[in-house]
Structure 1
Amino acid sequence: MVDFSKVRAIDFHTHAEEACGCHDDDGYDELQATMAEYFGAPWSHPPTIDQTAAHYRDMNIAAVIFPVDAERETGYRRYDNYEVADAAAKHSDILIPFASIDPAKGRLGAREARDLVEHHGIRGFKFHPTMQGFYPNDRAAYPLYEAIAESGRPALFHTGQTGVGSGMRGGNGMRLKYSNPMYTDDLAVDFPDMPIILAHPSFPWQEEALSVANHKPNVYIDLSGWSPKYFPPILVRYANSLLKDKMLFGSDWPMIAPEKWLAAFDRAEFKDEVRPLILKENAMRLLGVSA
């Protein structure tokens, strides 16, 4: 269990990758290499969960870590949630495991979600509408949301433009339209007790994201995927005021290293009293943990 009194921050957005570069058969390695070039990430293959844990332990930062299940839409086989849970359990002093289930799996996915929470220590769920090819308010996803809501665990949704497929022919089939954060507004109404996290500055729908988070008590924003030096002024303004209790530090590791994000955050125009909220306190409250 993470000792939250000792870690200096909680990174709410890191990605789990398999231990070997074994996706040549489905094109996943090419996708990752293109993303690494897009973000300027300095590695040939993404770090494993063990390597991620070691890095975050050195940084004294706890990390929410998850895979992305987009098998149906992309053809890339998923990193099995049970394998991720087992790997993260070896590093429970620093890693907080989330799972990812394609909503198209319906009741089968709902059963998996319940089992992962009850028996495998999963603390939340990650969705990537653009990669998974669905609108977040699609009723077909509701059986899965119902299972997540029952557990009290948060659901984290990619929003806005993505580096996934950026620059590839046809964007590698990724459709940006699915990740407009306004579609999560329906979920906040229909599942008012399920914490919902909008991942990233939601370009080009930043104001939509701020509107939903401002209007709905159960909606938060993680600040991953962008260096803080590029944050839109309106996002910083809301983080310093109306939404100061709803903003979460996130890096988007391994595409953006936490130390790189934090260095830019130190230079950004956030109020001193807001910084600890973003870096750790808001995440602790959302996860239901104490120091």
Structure 2
Amino acid sequence: MVDFAKVRAIDFHTHAEEPCCGPRDDGYDEFQAGMAAYFRNPAGSKGMLPTIDDTAAYYRERTIAAVIFPVDAERETGFRRYSNEEVAEACARNDDVLIPFASIDPAKGKAGAREARRLVREFGVKGFKFHPTMQGFYPNDRSAYVMYEAIADEGAITLFHTGQTGVGSGMKGGMGMRLKYSNPIHLDDVAVDFPDMPIVLAHPSFPWTEEGLAVAQHKPNVYYDMSGWSPKYFPELFVRYANSILKKKMLFGSDWPAITPDRWLADFEAMPFKDEVRPLILKENAMRLLGVA
């Protein structure tokens, strides 16, 4: 288990991008090349993305713990998903630094809800990642509620992509990705209907940053991870809220491997965050959310 007293930070947003066993799916190289161009990161080139064990070694060297997850978007993208069980098993091999989350397309309904319960009970999964744009659904669609009910019953965390995405950026038709699904205002309904289920908004939610900040301020169970952007590009209002009324709800997140913690933390250090706020963002808020504080 992670010794939270010894790690210096908790990265709440990292991706298990490479399959645990077997080759990449057809078409995935083109998708990753597009992502690499968007983030100006060569990691998307064929054969260059880190495995889960590689990720663990990187974070171990830096004394940082990491929440890690795959994304189940096979219905919309046609790319087969990576096994949640294999991701959880890889995390178990590296449980000194990795915290397992899973991903299930909510369109899988009752079968997906059963899978979610099993993953929590049998594999120690702590939360579930949703990507409304990649999965093609509005988070407040009632068809997703059977999934949320299972997650809430098991005491797990939900994490939702919000705002524009690098997925499909610059590709023909945006690779079919529809940005409308990821407006964080849709999560206001979810926060009302599942008030005891932790909800994390991923990224600064551009171009709906104000909506996201409003939901996080208004609903006690809503948090924000600060991933996907270098801190030097954060909107001024986002920084102001992080320094004040949302200081206990903001979470360090990188978006590894698209953005590395080295880059994110260096830019964070140069930003005008208050001294008393920095440890909250980097570690303390995540510990409280994970139930280990």
2:247 is matched with which residue?
Answer: 244
User: 2 CA distance for matches of 1:247 and 1:153?
Assistant: 18
Separation in structure 2 between the aligned mates of residue 21 and residue 250 of structure 1, nearest angstrom: 28
d(CA) in 2 for partners of 1:115, 1:19: 20
Q: Report what 2:73 is aligned to.
A: 70
2:112 is equivalent to residue 109 of structure 1: yes
Deviation at 1:153, TM superposition (A): 1.0
* Structure 1 equivalent of residue 175 of structure 2: 172
1:23 aligns with 2:24: yes
1:6 and 2:6 equivalent? yes
Q: Which runs of 5+ in 1 are unaligned?
A: none
Alpha-carbon distance in 2 for matches of 1:249, 1:21: 32
Of the structure 1 ranges 16-25 and 78-87, higher mean CA displacement relative to structure 2 is found in 16-25
Aligned positions of 1:73-88 closer than 5 A? 73-88=76-91
Letter paired with 1:13: H
Aligned equivalents of 1:280, 1:169: Cα separation in 2: 39
Q: Gaps spanning 5+ residues in structure 2: where?
A: none
Q: Which residue of structure 1 lines up, in the alignment, with residue 227 of structure 2?
A: 224
Alignment deviations for residues 173-209 of structure 1 (CA, whole Å, 9 cap, x no partner): 0000000000000000000000000000110000000
User: Once superposed, what is the RMSD of the aligned Cα atoms?
Assistant: 1.0
Maintained 8 Å contact 1:126/1:157: yes
* TM-score, L = length of structure 1: 0.98
Superposed, which structure 2 residues align to 1:130-279 within 5 Å?
Answer: 130-279=133-282
Q: 1:21–1:29: 8 Å Cα contact kept in structure 2?
A: no
Distance 2:105 2:253 in 1: 22
1:171 positional shift: 0.2
Q: TM-score, normalised by structure 2?
A: 0.97
Identity rate, percent:
75
For 1:269 and 1:122, how far apart are their aligned partners in 2? 35
Deviation, structure 1 residue 212: 0.2
Alpha-carbon separation, structure 1, partners of 2:22 and 2:135:
22
CA distance in 2, matches of 1:138, 1:202: 19
Task: Map Cα deviations across residues 256-277 of structure 1 (whole Å, 9 max, x no partner).
Answer: 0001000000001110100000
Match of 2:42 in 1: 42
Deviation at 1:24, TM superposition (A): 5.1
Contact 2:8 2:64 in 1 (8 A): yes
Q: How far apart, CA to CA, are the structure 1 residues paired with 2:202 and 2:119? A: 22
User: After the TM superposition, which residues 45-56 of structure 1 pair with which residues of structure 2 at under 5 Å, given as runs?
Assistant: 45-56=48-59
- Do 1:161 and 1:176's aligned partners in 2 also have CA atoms closer than 8 Å? yes
2: CA distance between counterparts of 1:272 and 1:251?
A: 20
Q: CA deviation at 1:21?
A: 8.0
Secondary structure of the equivalent of 1:181?
Answer: coil
